[in-house]
């Protein structure tokens, strides 16, 4: 059987349109078939409607816990973007490989799959787990059912590397995120009789002002984590919609806002403050109209990831990388959920840059894929060692 290269496999993966609103089952079936050809069994964890799936596989001894390589299969849309290249066809232009998902994050998936024959051939003392999820791009939704599935098994991974694009530098932490939608319901009337109505946009504006004031406060007072490019929690309103016509007091207004918190900050406490203001505004509005209301809808949330720079896992993975830089990233991953829900020490490291992710003409470079291939080859060798096997008895696979 000829061995497919990382670039060959990336071309196969990019050809599947796995935009989050579409099913990822054709891609999952492709990966299942590929693993089966190499003698690797896997299991699907379906979503509630059965049109999407996570995939989980173990290579090596099944009676012990190992290192999990994790990535998501979905991508963001290309709608409204001006692409020079066909987004769902891999296009090579010199060092760059263009296509949707090349950086975020099918490049990592392709490198992992290309390494499967070496994993199977190796005498692994520590198994390698593959975890491929759906619906990461819409709030880390799909992986939650995989986490629930893993929780049922006695052998859970003891370490995880999430292959989001970090230019193959090791990320030890990222911020958490909490996104909500506020629906403000007032009372419409002719604008010439404005005091008889309840202006939903005016109420929403006071909520927006609170968000802006709190963002300024966080920038001034923290808490701070200087290892992030923006070292404090941020808040912002992303969308706002309301009103029907200038001469009508607006009955409805809707706004979406997000909190991206440093690990030391509590987004739920911030949300409680906001909803306390919403309750106060509701009381004021109901003095004019008893049915006035402010309703909160939670859109998505995931916890931050925080690993100490001197953690043994950090040293173990750094030793396998060409670039020994440690960093903290501003975007979220599924890593925070693995750490918080299952207690799995987790790091983020993968090929490509998020500067290209989500952009038209997204690309990953051949050099980045080669660096990922080299990292995985070193990881396989490290997990064959007698030291790794011995460390399992202490509950950790990490060696100095």
Say whether 74 is catalytic: yes
Q: Cα–Cα distance between 168 and 175 in angstroms, integer?
A: 19
Q: Cα–Cα distance between 279 and 98 in angstroms, integer?
A: 49
Catalytic residue among 32, 104, 136, 137: 136
Catalytic residue among 74, 164, 334, 362: 74
Q: Cα–Cα distance between 144 and 341 in angstroms, integer?
A: 9
Would you list the DSSP string of 31-69?
Answer: HHHHHHHTT--EEEEE-TTSS-EEEEEEES-SSS--EEE
Are 106 and 13 contacting, i.e. CB atoms less than 8 angstroms apart?
yes
Would you list the DSSP string of 5-28?
Answer: PHHHHHHHHHTS--BTTS--HHHH
Three-point CA angle 67, 312, 226, nearest 5°: 110
Tokens of 291: 């049915």
- Provide the 8-state DSSP code for 166: B
Say whether 384 is catalytic: no
CB count within 10 Å of CB 274 equals 19
Q: Is 250 helix (H, G, I), strand (E, B) or coil?
A: coil
What residues are labeled active site? 74, 136
């Amino acid at each position: 059987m000829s061995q497919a290269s990382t670039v060959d496999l990336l071309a196969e993966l990019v050809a599947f349109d796995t935009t989050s609103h579409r099913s990822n089952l054709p891609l999952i079936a492709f990966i299942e078939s590929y693993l089966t050809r190499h003698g690797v069994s896997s299991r699907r964890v379906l979503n509630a409607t059965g049109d999407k799936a996570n995939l989980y596989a173990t290579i090596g001894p099944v009676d012990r816990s190992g290192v999990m390589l994790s990535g998501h299969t979905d991508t963001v849309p290309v709608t409204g973007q001006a692409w020079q290249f066909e987004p769902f066809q891999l296009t090579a232009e010199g060092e760059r490989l263009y296509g949707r998902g090349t950086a975020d994050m099918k490049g990592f998936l392709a490198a992992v799959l290309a390494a499967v024959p070496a994993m199977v051939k190796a005498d692994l003392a520590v198994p390698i787990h593959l975890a491929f999820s759906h619906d990461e791009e819409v709030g880390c939704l799909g992986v939650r059912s995989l986490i629930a599935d893993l929780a049922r098994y006695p052998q859970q991974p003891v370490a995880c590397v999430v292959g989001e694009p970090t230019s193959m530098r090791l990320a030890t932490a990222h911020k958490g995120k909490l996104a909500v939608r506020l629906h403000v319901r007032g009372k419409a009337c002719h604008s010439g009789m404005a005091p008889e109505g309840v202006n939903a946009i005016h109420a929403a504006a006071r909520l927006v002002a609170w968000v802006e004031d709190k963002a300024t406060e966080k920038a001034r007072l923290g808490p701070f984590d200087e290892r992030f490019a923006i070292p404090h929690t941020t808040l912002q309103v992303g969308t706002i919609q309301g009103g029907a016509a200038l001469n009508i007091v607006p009955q409805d207004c809707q706004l979406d806002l997000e909190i991206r918190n440093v690990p030391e900050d509590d987004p739920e406490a911030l949300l409680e403050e906001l909803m306390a203001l919403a309750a106060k505004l509701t009381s004021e509005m109901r003095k004019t109209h008893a049915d006035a209301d402010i309703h909160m809808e939670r859109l998505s949330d995931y916890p931050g990831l925080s690993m100490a720079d001197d953690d043994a896992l950090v040293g173990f993975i750094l030793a396998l990388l060409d670039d020994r830089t440690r960093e903290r990233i501003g975007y979220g991953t599924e890593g925070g959920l693995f750490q918080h829900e299952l207690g799995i020490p987790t790091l983020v490291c993968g090929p490509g840059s998020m500067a290209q992710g989500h952009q038209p003409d997204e690309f990953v470079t051949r050099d980045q894929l080669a660096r990922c291939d080299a990292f995985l080859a070193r990881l396989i060798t490290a997990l064959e060692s007698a030291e790794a096997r011995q460390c399992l008895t202490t509950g950790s696979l990490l060696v100095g």
